[in-house]
Chain A
Amino acid sequence: MGLRNRLIKWARIKSPWIIHFDCSSCNGCDIEIVAALTPRYDVERFGILLRGSPRHADILVVSGSVSHQVAPRLRRIYEQMPEPKFVMAVGACACGAGVFRDCYNVLEGVDKVIPVDVYVPGCPPKPEAIIQGVVELIEKLKAA
């Protein structure tokens, strides 16, 4: 591995930028994701920054049980992200539809649409669990 690549990898591990996309989630996971970014948990001190555009992000954080209407938009957002990209499914719904399993308008889980790297279960997961998910993902990055 050349110096350039090592440098890029180091930077990526030190400062993974995330984008958050709500796929018909109930907001429970979303407010916990935002809570993880605010003073009590403050993941920004580890260089994790929430971005507004998928083109700036390394990690796509998805919550919710993916309705038919939103699925094509999710795929498009994933395609807009630069390589290498990673996906984190937050919450029981994103992992496998959760309580909405038998509803007619949901696909059962994010992995039906795009590949997922880390699953964070819980309804909703606590901010600590979400941070743990990011840590796992960084471990995966290191190994890659």
Chain B
Amino acid sequence: MSELEIPEITIPVGPQHPALHEPENFTFKVDGEYVVDVEARIGYNHRGIEKAAESRSYIQNLYLFERVCGICSHAHTTAFTLNIEELLDTPKPPRAQYISMIVAELERIHSHTLWAGVAGHEIGFHSFFMYLWRDREVVMDLLEAVSGNRVHYAVNTIGGVRRDITPEVEKKLRKGMDILEERLKTYRTLALEEPTLIKRCEGVGVLKPEDARRLCAVGPTLRASGIKHDVRANDPYLAYDEIDWEVVSYDLCDVLSRILVRIDEALQSVYIIRQALDKLPDGPYKVRVPRNVPEGESVMRVEAQRGELIHYVRSNGTDRPDRYKIRSPTLGNIPAVCHILKGGYIADIPIVLASIDPCFSCTDRMAFVDVNTGKKWVWTGEQLRRYARKWRG
């Protein structure tokens, strides 16, 4: 066999990843069933938000940044408003901080259940996907009750929040939390006991702690490698330092570990919301702020669902920013995921890519190119997934 020259094959993956987040393009070099090298090409989703921000006022930018991402929209506006409030030196009133925190945690539950469902879909565990998405509707209803919208909540504003939590909504929230706690605990047991999940995810996509550090991984990807870093605990914002909660981390370093981290984090979010409702302070939920922001610069970091989100602003004394920089967590995790994919199987590509939560979904498509003949064939995500299931037995 060794005399046989095996041609190296290049596989471009993407960019049609309709589903969520940033449509990316990965080029894989494969040797048989193994992935030898990976290169990422992003930017299919580049719209030029940072440039547009420079020509819009701060209030207009609030709506623009809400739409950077539909899944972590609240995290973006939190970082933005905290940044501007720091420059204006008028922090959110305590009640606003708690309300903003409650919405942030609701969003985290929604995102993590969404992700766990997608992960189930990627490994062919379709009922897991459907059950999780059914229970996710509980959170969506709560978000609608709190903010009036299912996806872009528009809760944050500069100087506070736009809506109060009324006693009726509080009652609904408490009831919802009871349902969610019970359901999340069920899924936790499932993840720990269900052979389908364990066999497919254990030992797949290992990211060692030293590699996670070296490649600057963030969020659940980092915590699933045993590094207990969470911006909410290490660099507290809003009222996270007044709440009693734990940073979740597992040290299995594989896909299973990432599933467990996310389910446990969603459970922690339930506890945070309950405590926040108990402690919800009285007082105003909004203060008036001037339109113009004094000259200065500020860095704000927020723990979005996918990890550390960092916003940097440079203001020039007018009502528009001079420069606004956003780095979303997925970009931070791409070097890490490229590293994980190297040396893995082709069949593991979908679940490993999904495990950093770039929000891959159903319609991604892959083109395979044989370097020697230049022949090209195209695989849809569905075919790849089927191939993955067949190959892994």
Q: Contact residues of A with B, CB < 8 Å? A: 19-22, 24-32, 34-35, 38-40, 50-53, 63-65, 67, 69-70, 73, 77, 98-100, 102-106, 123-124, 126
Contact = CB atoms under 8 A, between A and B. Distances in A.
B70 A29 contact: yes
A70 B25 CA distance: 11
Given A28-B73, A30-B20, A20 B363 contact: yes
Contacts of B363: 19-22, 50-52
Given A21-B16, A22-B17, A52-B362, A28 B152 contact: yes
Contacts of B307: none
Given A22-B18, A100-B49, 16 more contacts: A19-B18, A19-B363, A22-B17, A27-B20, A28-B151, A28-B152, A34-B19, A38-B133, A50-B362, A51-B382, A70-B44, A104-B51, A124-B70, A124-B150, A124-B152, A126-B150
Interface of B: 15-21, 23, 43-49, 51-52, 55, 63-64, 67-71, 73, 114, 129-130, 133-134, 137, 140, 150-152, 359, 361-365, 380-383
The residue in A35, A100, A103, A124 that gathers the most chain B C-beta atoms within 10 A of its C-beta is A103
Contacts of A63: 18
B71 A31 contact: yes
B133 A26 contact: no
Contacts of A51: 363, 382
A100 to B, nearest CB: 5
A52 B51 contact: no
Nearest to A51: B382
A52 B381 contact: yes
Contacts of A40: 133-134, 137
Contact of A67 (B47, B73, B380): B47
A100 B61 CA distance: 11
A24 B44 contact: yes
Which of A69, A98, A124 has the most C-beta atoms of chain B within 10 angstroms of its own C-beta? A69
